[in-house]
Structure formats: C-alpha cells, structure tokens
A and B are shown apart, each in its own frame.
Chain A
Amino acid sequence: MTKEERLKKRHSAEKRFRFYGLASIFVALLFVLILVHNIFSKGSSAFMKTAINVEVFFDQELLEIKNDASDDEILEADFFDITIESLIKVYPAKNVEEEDAIIELFTTDAEIEIKRAFLENNNLIGKKINLEITASDDIDQLHKGNYPRDIPEDRRRISDFQLVIYDNLVENQKIVKNFNNYFFKNGDSRDPELAGIGGALIGSFYSIIICLLLAFPVAVLASIYLEEFAPKNKITDFIEININNLAAVPSIVYGLLALQILLATIQLPRSTPLVAGITLALMTLPRIIIPCRASLKAVPPSIREGALAVGASKFQSVFHHVVPLALPGTLSGTIIGLAQALGETAPLILIGMVAFVVDIPSTPIDPSSSLPVQVYLWSESAERGFVEKTSATIMMLLSFLIVMNFLAVYLRQKFEKRWN
C-alpha cells in the first residue's frame, strides 16, 4: 500500500465516521418527526365531531308535560319517546330491526341533547325545530374516513343498511361536522363520542398545583440551606447523597411509597388529585433542588460579600440579594420539574387514578383521572374512536409541556443575569 492509498483510506474513514455521527442525529430527529406526525395525523380529527341534522317535533302528547313546566320538571320528564320518534324519521324504516339500526346511528345521549335544546329554548311544545344530534362513534369514524367500508359486512360494525342511510344522509347534506365541545367538557365515558378529557384536565390541574405548592417552597428552602448555610459535615453530605439518589429512583417506586404511606397508613382518599399531588411533589422535589442549587451557585460570591460588607446579616445577604438573583433559574428549574410531573403516569396508576371516573372533580379530594393516565386508559380500548381521542389527549399534553418548557427557557433568557 502506497502512502497515497493509505492517506486516502484514512480520509475516507474520517468521512465515514463523520457520517455516522450526522446519521445518528438525523435518526433521532427523524424519530421525533415520525412520532409527532403519527400522533397528529391520528389525533387532529378528534377536535371535530360528526352530527346529524334531525327534525325534532315536540309533540305534547308524547312529552306529557305542561306548558308552564319548571326546569326541574323538564329535567325529570321523559324525552325518550320524542327522541325515538324524531330519530327514526331520518330514513324510512320498514320494521323494528331497521328502526333500531337507525337509532344506532346516533349517540346514546341523543335524548339528553334534545332535552338540553328544549331547556335552552322557550316554549317549544308543539313546535318543530332542527337539531344537530351527535352521531355515534361508528358513524363519526366513517365520516372522518377512518373506517374501512370495503370489508365484508360481518366484519364491520356498521351494517350495509346503515351505510345506505349514511350515504343518503350525506347526499341530503344532513351530516355536519362541528367543533367537539364534548372532548373538552365531558369526563370519561364508555362511548367514544361522549368521552372527554374534562375530568382529566381538572385532575391534572389540581395535582400539579398541589405539587407546586408543596415542592417549590421546600425545594427552594432546602437548596438555600445546602448552598448557603449548610456546614461541611457528614449530615450535609448524607443529605446531598440522598437528593442525588432520589432523583434517580424510578418513578414507580414513589407510587409504592404513596400506596404504603399515604393510602394505607395515613388513609388519604384513593384516586384523588391530593394524593397524586403529594406523590408527584415527593418525586419532583430532588429534581427541582438540583437546578435550584445550580442557579444559587451561579450567583458570584462578590454579591454576598458586598451585602455582608455593608452590615447585612447572612440571612439578609441571602434573602435580599442572592435569592432574587437566582430566582429566574429557580423558577425555570421548577417549571421543568413540574412539566415532568405533568407527564408522569406510573405512580398515579398505583394510587388508583386508573378508576373509571365519569364526574368532573370539583375539589382535590374527589376521585379523578389525569391527562397521562387518561392516555393509558383509552389506549387499552379497542374502538377506533378512542385511538383518535388518545392521540388528541397526547396532543393536549404535549402542547402543555411545550408551553411550560418555553416559559422556562423564556424566564431564564429574559431575566437571568450573566456573570462573566
């Protein structure tokens, strides 16, 4: 091998090596793209829902309520007959089976929707109005094009007869797409078209607020102690080792801790944002302390010395001068810690947040779900509608995380002082 050949070989090895590096970065970036694209393409349709335009006739004979009925009486009243009568008029049915097939096109909550429309408008008795009734999940998915039509009938959830009605409705422009307010308003449901993340949003909100209220002050005080006041001794070393180890403990272990201490020993109520918040706070604490200490450490000693030189006590120098300067870093560390806590699932599953909760929690001690747990719960369901809902929930979750991370970066860049 001549000198030139050897050099050529070495240079091509150089190029190869460089290519591997670039390729690895590219693979990682590509994966981010695939993941985001996959979630968005599956989930974006969940923000719209399909509704069918139905003419509802509030027949006084079928309603059995008086003209001047109060709201409570209306809520109690039976709208079932009216609902059925209105729905089956969408398409001429020959027998009861066909009528049932038509009713199956609509959500199980059709009666409630009609009742709500009745309550919102005054004096509808004896009148006809056009209402947009939410379609069933199957029709919804069919209309969004997520549901294959060309497979044999016995493998479809929609019968041929229902397809004929659907096509007829599309032709007559009776099918509309609306903004899916149920997705944001409702709690969990067995019916995909009614299921929403309202409960999970509130649950996550309460958990994160409790986590913030507990973890932030303790983390800041602990970092101030360790960075500014702690004497160099065994106890301090021990605390530091503990914090570093806790930051690396798998999150599921915190779930076991919560199960044993918070639920079994102290007997706090299961499945509640309160327990979730405390668990997440314990988990987040070391993860906040580490950046807090870093930002306290970044404040140069001259600041402290300057304060001490004009007669401030150690406390005054720390709380009047060092802490305010370290605050942007502290806050951004806290926000990043909270963002991690917001996406945490495993410990919440152990404390029972996987329960099926329909009601929207009104206080932190009501059973509730949270966004990531809702993702886990829905991902176990087979219906295509839940895949869409799960992806949309992930989209919500990711957008919260993006906002929080941007806020953290913004705080740091805007307010943090650079000492050089």
Chain B
Amino acid sequence: MNFVLIFLITIFSLSLFFYGRSKTKSISIEKNIKLNALPKFYGYYLVLWCSIPSLVFLLIWTLFEPVIIKSIIIETAANQGAIFNDKNEANLIYEKIKAIYAGTYFGDIDTILKESALSYAKFINLFTNSKIVLIFAIVIASVIYSLKKIKNNNKARDDVEVILKGLLFASSLIAILTTLGIIFSLLFESIKFFSVINIFDYLFGTNWSPQRAFVRDASAITAEEYDELKDAFGFIPLIAGTSFIAFIAMLVAVPIGLFSGIYMAEYASVKIRRISKPIIEILAGIPTVVYGFFAALTVGPFFRQIGENLGLTVSSESALAAGLIMGIMIIPYVSSLSDDVINSVPQSLRDGSYAVGATKSETIKKVVIPAALPGIIGSVLLAVSRAIGETMIVVMAAGLAANLTINPLESTTTITTQIVMILVGDQEFDSPKTQSAFALGLTLFIATLVLNYIAQRAVKKYREKYD
C-alpha cells in the first residue's frame, strides 16, 4: 500500500513539475509579464509542495500505526475478557491475532481471539482508508496552495531555496536525533534496571553472573530475592576485566604505535612513508571479527601451547591473547594520530635544538615529544576508548565468566562481551537480565564519551598552541 502511495505521489509530483514549468511560461507570454524566477523553479516549487508534506505525513503515520492499533486491540481483547498477566502474554495474543488476520494461524481459535481478529481487520481497514483519504487531502490542499502561489508569480527560486535549506538543516539534525535516540533507548531500559537494582549495588558489586538472575515478578521483589539479585549484577569485575584487557592492548599499541609514528614523522624517507603508512593503516581497516577469529583460533591456542611447554596453565581464552590482538588492531590509531601531532610541532623548535648540538633522537626525546605530549596523550586516550568499546575480539577471544583477576593468563570478561552474551538469542522482556545489558551500554557510552571529550580537548588545546 505504502509503495503504491509513494509511487502515485512521485508520479503526480513529476507531472506537476512539467505542468508548473509550462504553465508559468505561458502565463508570462499571455500576460506579457517578467517572471520572478526561471520557469523550472516553479516546477520545483510544485514538486516540493506536493511531495514533502504528504511523504512526511505518510512516514509519521506508518511509524505510529502499528503501535496505536496494537494498544487498541489489546485493550479491546482485555475488555472482552482475555487475561494476560504481563506484556509478554499480551504480545503473544497480539501476534496470534495478527496471524489469524494473515491466515497463517493454525491453532485453536476461541471467541475472544475471533472477535479480536475481526476488530483487528476492522481497524486495519479503517486506518488504511483514513490514511489514503488524509494523504489525498494533504496533496490536494498543498497543490492548490502552491498553484495559487505560482499563478501570482511568486519568487519561486527564493521559496524553493528556503525549503531546500530546511531539508539540508533537517538532514544535519539526524545526528542530534541519533544521539537522542541512543540516550533515550539506553536510559529507558537502564532506569527500569536501576529501579530494581540499586545503582550503588551495581557500581560497587563484585560479582557478575546475570544468568543466575531469575525474577518472578519484577514489581514485588522480596528482600532475600534482592540479596541474591544484587549479587548477580556487580559491575566491578566487568570494569576490571575491560580495563585489564585494554591495558594489555595499550602495552602493545602505545610503544609500537608511538615509535612507528615518530619514525614516520621524523626519519622515514618519502618513499618508505608512502609504502608503510598505508600498510599500517590496513590494520585499522581489517574487520574486528577477523582479528577475533585469529585471536581465538590461532593466538589463544598458541599461547596455551607455549604455556604447556613452560609448565604454566594458560586459559585458551586468556586476557593476554585478546589484549595482544586488540593492541595490534589499535596500532594504526596511535601511530597515525601521533604522526599528525608530531608533524605539527613547528620546525623552529627542532632547529633550535639542533643548533645547540643535540642529535636527532635527543631532539625528539627532549623537545618534540614534550611539545607534542598533550596531543599524544589525546591520541592514546582515543585509542583507549576504541579498546574499551571494541566488541568482536573480546567476544570471540576473551572469556565469558567474570573473574576478578590480574593474571593475564586467566580468562576474564568485558562489558561489551557481556552485552552480546545477554542479548544474543531469546530475550525475556522486562527482566533485569535484559535490562542490565542496556545499563552496561549506558556505562560504556558515558565512559567513551568522557574519554573522547578529554582527548579532543587535549588535541584541540595542543593545536591552538602552535597554530
């Protein structure tokens, strides 16, 4: 239906373009007046007026129609005596009703279901019909309005440009909408989670095992149940594991990245730079799932083998393997950023250092790096925020159980791994377990935001200093 409507609107708009163009041409000839814009702009004007209001209306309608119909149907079903204890059962009944309507339901149909399906059909019809009528009304109204305008020889180009500018502005607003969407979707579930689990129990709990958390009725949790629950949602092991793996990654990425950045900025000939820079950046372009596969199937078992030979017990999902591979993934972020930062240190500082007899490496160590330090710290912080938000490597190569450990040979888990583990497969609605994933997401979002903010401030301050 929607496709037909969109198609009709498109066709109608296009024909209006040609109509508007020729109409204004003929008006100008007949009445011998000078048009205020090129004829094609009158065409554009009609097209925009015909399509934008109706398409926006159609979009909003399509987004809200299923939600509204669902609430109406569930309410009428409840009035007719259908019993559902929670949202899950209501959803189930609604799915059944939809299946009956579509003719794909083969279970028993009782009277309530039958009545509901009939009213569902009625409402679908009603909504579809009113949608069509309203859209036609909108198209006709806006076309009449715009036709009247162009007959009065309006300044069509200016009007078109105002509308287009609005369109441009609307596109850039999508960034804000996405941020709002992220914040709301994370907050919405997190608030539900924190209404069950005290935020301090979450932040300072030392035990994470959401698979144990069974809640019969989230609205009435007894004190004993709560004691058990709060024991399942302690954030400390996750942040510890995440930071630990990120720390190992930085141990790999910072020296290698920094040294290669320095080499490329200060020593490398143009030729070496032209070859090695893109190759290092390949590391950033490889999908993280590839690193995860490599870490889980090659590096993990390899370390385990070495450990066995040395008489150590190494988990095949050791923090070391995940951290090492993550570090390699991050090398290009550190190297290219610090390369940029070092390049923007003014040459005069170096020349001053050479003038008093320092060697190149002494200049780098004593002058260039201290001068570039805020920028370098900024790039390291950006790399840290990449590391804690990285998902696939740790999902595939790090452990699933939350161990509070600082032994890199044991397995530990991370925030992102737990989000994936909780949300993969069947999710229970409204259970603290599912909601905890969103609380974790919110924590992650805030952490990366803060890190990025500090990093960007540092880099910006540094740039301003030498600009």
Residue pair B168, A39 in contact (C-beta under 8 Å): no
Bitwise, A208-233 to B at CB < 8 A (1) or not (0) is 00000000011101101110011000
Q: Is A346 engaged at the interface, CB distance under 8 Å to the other chain?
A: yes
Q: Is B289 engaged at the interface, CB distance under 8 Å to the other chain?
A: yes
Q: Is B134 engaged at the interface, CB distance under 8 Å to the other chain?
A: no
Q: Contacts of B88 on A, CB cut-off 8 Å? A: none
Residue pair A257, B157 in contact (C-beta under 8 Å): no
Residue pair B290, A222 in contact (C-beta under 8 Å): no
Q: Is B419 engaged at the interface, CB distance under 8 Å to the other chain?
A: yes
Q: Is A35 engaged at the interface, CB distance under 8 Å to the other chain?
A: yes
Bitwise, B137-178 to A at CB < 8 A (1) or not (0) is 000000000000000000001000100110111011111101
Residue in A14, A265, A289, A354 whose beta carbon sits within 8 Å of that of B360 in the complex: A14
Residue pair A21, B262 in contact (C-beta under 8 Å): yes
Per the 8 Å Cβ criterion, residues 30-65 of A in contact with B are 31-32, 35, 38-39
Chain B binder among A187-195, A240-248, A358-366, A412-420: A240-248
Q: Is B385 engaged at the interface, CB distance under 8 Å to the other chain?
A: yes
Residue pair B441, A221 in contact (C-beta under 8 Å): no
| Residue of B whose beta carbon sits closest to that of A11 | B359
Residue in A24, A25, A229, A387 whose beta carbon sits within 8 Å of that of B297 in the complex: A387
Residue pair B392, A315 in contact (C-beta under 8 Å): no
Q: Contacts of B452 on A, CB cut-off 8 Å? A: 244-245, 248
Chain A binder among B10-18, B279-287, B305-313: B279-287
Residue pair A225, B172 in contact (C-beta under 8 Å): yes
Residue pair A239, B331 in contact (C-beta under 8 Å): no
Per the 8 Å Cβ criterion, residues 389-409 of A in contact with B are 390-391, 394, 397-398, 401, 405
Number of interface residues of B (CB under 8 A): 88
Q: Is B84 engaged at the interface, CB distance under 8 Å to the other chain?
A: no
Max chain B CB contacts within 10 Å: which of A250, A251, A349, A398? A250
Q: Contacts of A314 on B, CB cut-off 8 Å? A: 161
Per the 8 Å Cβ criterion, residues 239-294 of A in contact with B are 239, 242-246, 248-257, 259-261, 265-267, 282, 285-286, 289
| Residue of A whose beta carbon sits closest to that of B364 | A17
Residue pair A289, B175 in contact (C-beta under 8 Å): yes
Residue in B169, B260, B382, B424 whose beta carbon sits within 8 Å of that of A354 in the complex: B424
Q: Is A29 engaged at the interface, CB distance under 8 Å to the other chain?
A: yes
Bitwise, B259-278 to A at CB < 8 A (1) or not (0) is 11011101100000000100
Chain B binder among A74-82, A326-334, A337-345: A337-345
Residue in A10, A224, A345, A350 whose beta carbon sits within 8 Å of that of B289 in the complex: A345
Q: Contacts of B360 on A, CB cut-off 8 Å? A: 14, 18
Q: Is B63 engaged at the interface, CB distance under 8 Å to the other chain?
A: yes
Residue pair A239, B172 in contact (C-beta under 8 Å): yes
Residue pair B179, A379 in contact (C-beta under 8 Å): no
Q: Is A28 engaged at the interface, CB distance under 8 Å to the other chain?
A: yes
Max chain A CB contacts within 10 Å: which of B66, B263, B266? B263
CB distance from B286 to the nearest CB of A (A): 7
Residue pair B287, A29 in contact (C-beta under 8 Å): no
Chain A binder among B125-133, B181-189, B214-222, B348-356: B181-189
Residue pair B389, A18 in contact (C-beta under 8 Å): no
Q: Contacts of A265 on B, CB cut-off 8 Å? A: 67
Chain A binder among B107-115, B193-201, B315-323, B443-451: B443-451
Number of interface residues of A (CB under 8 A): 84
Residue pair B178, A29 in contact (C-beta under 8 Å): no
Residue pair B441, A252 in contact (C-beta under 8 Å): yes
Q: Is A147 engaged at the interface, CB distance under 8 Å to the other chain?
A: no
| Residue of B whose beta carbon sits closest to that of A33 | B279
Q: Is A69 engaged at the interface, CB distance under 8 Å to the other chain?
A: no
CB distance from B120 to the nearest CB of A (A): 15
Q: Is B438 engaged at the interface, CB distance under 8 Å to the other chain?
A: yes
Q: Is A372 engaged at the interface, CB distance under 8 Å to the other chain?
A: yes
Residues A225 and B182 in contact in the complex (CB < 8 Å), given A32-B279, A372-B287, A401-B285: no
* A25→B186 CA distance, assembly (Å): 40
User: 7 closest Cβ contacts across the A-B interface?
Assistant: A250-B389, A343-B287, A21-B263, A260-B185, A17-B361, A225-B168, A221-B171
25 A-B Cβ contacts within 8 A? A13-B361, A17-B361, A21-B267, A32-B282, A38-B294, A38-B298, A39-B290, A222-B168, A226-B172, A246-B175, A248-B452, A249-B182, A250-B391, A250-B444, A250-B448, A256-B186, A256-B419, A257-B186, A266-B63, A289-B175, A313-B157, A343-B285, A350-B420, A372-B289, A401-B287
- Which A residues are within 8 Å of any B CB, using their own CB? 10-11, 13-14, 16-18, 20-25, 27-29, 31-32, 35, 38-39, 217-219, 221-222, 224-226, 229-230, 238-239, 242-246, 248-257, 259-261, 265-267, 282, 285-286, 289, 313-315, 339-340, 342-346, 349-350, 354, 372-373, 375-376, 379, 387, 390-391, 394, 397-398, 401, 405
- Which B residues are within 8 Å of any A CB, using their own CB? 63, 66-67, 157, 161, 164-165, 167-169, 171-176, 178-179, 181-182, 185-186, 188-189, 255-260, 262-264, 266-267, 276, 279-280, 282-283, 285-294, 296-298, 328, 331-332, 335, 359-362, 364-365, 382, 385, 388-392, 395-396, 416, 419-420, 423-425, 437-438, 441, 444-445, 448-449, 452-453, 456
